[in-house]
């Protein structure tokens, strides 16, 4: 049985928090910097209107700050086409609004570093990198298993799959088996 992973492409994630000043901004920057094929935006259920200076400083020091990062209200992003919503605080998880179309949601909560020392921001950065990024990748990861049977080829898919992806994978699997 042959098993392979399909590369991630063109996925869009919304990172949702309460104030959109620390955790969600850090997660947005990390996803954009470290996960190929996935684009992130962030927003707040009650956006503060400003990025925490320690969060900005940390992202600048890590070399992943972009001037486009800013604290946004949901109205700025609610009509964007997202493939996944990630809540990073309990309040956002509990009060996640309805979107114009159904969007899968996962929750990975982190303690708010706001009002704490710079070390708390560094710890939050590490936690988001170590805990959240793998969960986002896992959510989108598509696995296929191909095996020969008496009737031809059996193909099993798991993960985030759309009709277009299935058609592409079936066609690719046919080519894989011809070359096997």
Active site residues: 17, 89, 96
Of the candidates 112, 111, 129, 115, which has an alpha carbon nearest to the alpha carbon of residue 31?
129
DSSP 98-126: P-SS---EEE------TTS-HHHHHHHHH
Cα separation, 63 vs 58, whole angstroms:
9
Cα separation, 88 vs 24, whole angstroms:
7
Residues 6+ apart with CB under 8 A from 62: 29, 33, 125
Backbone angles phi and psi of 140, in degrees to 5 = -90, -15
């Amino acid at each position: 049985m042959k098993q392979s992973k399909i590369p991630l492409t063109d996925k869009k994630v919304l990172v949702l928090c309460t104030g959109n000043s620390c955790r969600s901004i850090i997660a947005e920057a990390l996803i954009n910097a470290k996960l190929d094929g996935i684009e992130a935006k962030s927003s707040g259920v009650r956006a503060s209107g400003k990025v925490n200076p320690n969060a900005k400083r940390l992202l600048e020091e890590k070399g992943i700050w972009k001037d486009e990062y800013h604290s946004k209200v949901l109205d700025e992003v609610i009509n964007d086409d997202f493939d996944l919503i990630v809540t990073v605080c309990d309040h956002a998880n509990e009060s996640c609004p309805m979107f114009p179309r159904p969007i899968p949601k996962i929750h990975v909560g982190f303690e708010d570093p706001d009002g704490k020392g710079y070390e708390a921001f560094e710890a939050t950065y590490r936690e988001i990198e170590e805990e959240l990024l793998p969960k986002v990748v896992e959510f989108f990861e598509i696995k296929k298993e191909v095996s020969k049977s008496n009737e031809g080829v059996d193909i099993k898919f798991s993960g985030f799959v759309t009709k277009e992806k299935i058609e592409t994978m079936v066609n690719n699997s046919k080519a894989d088996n011809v070359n096997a």
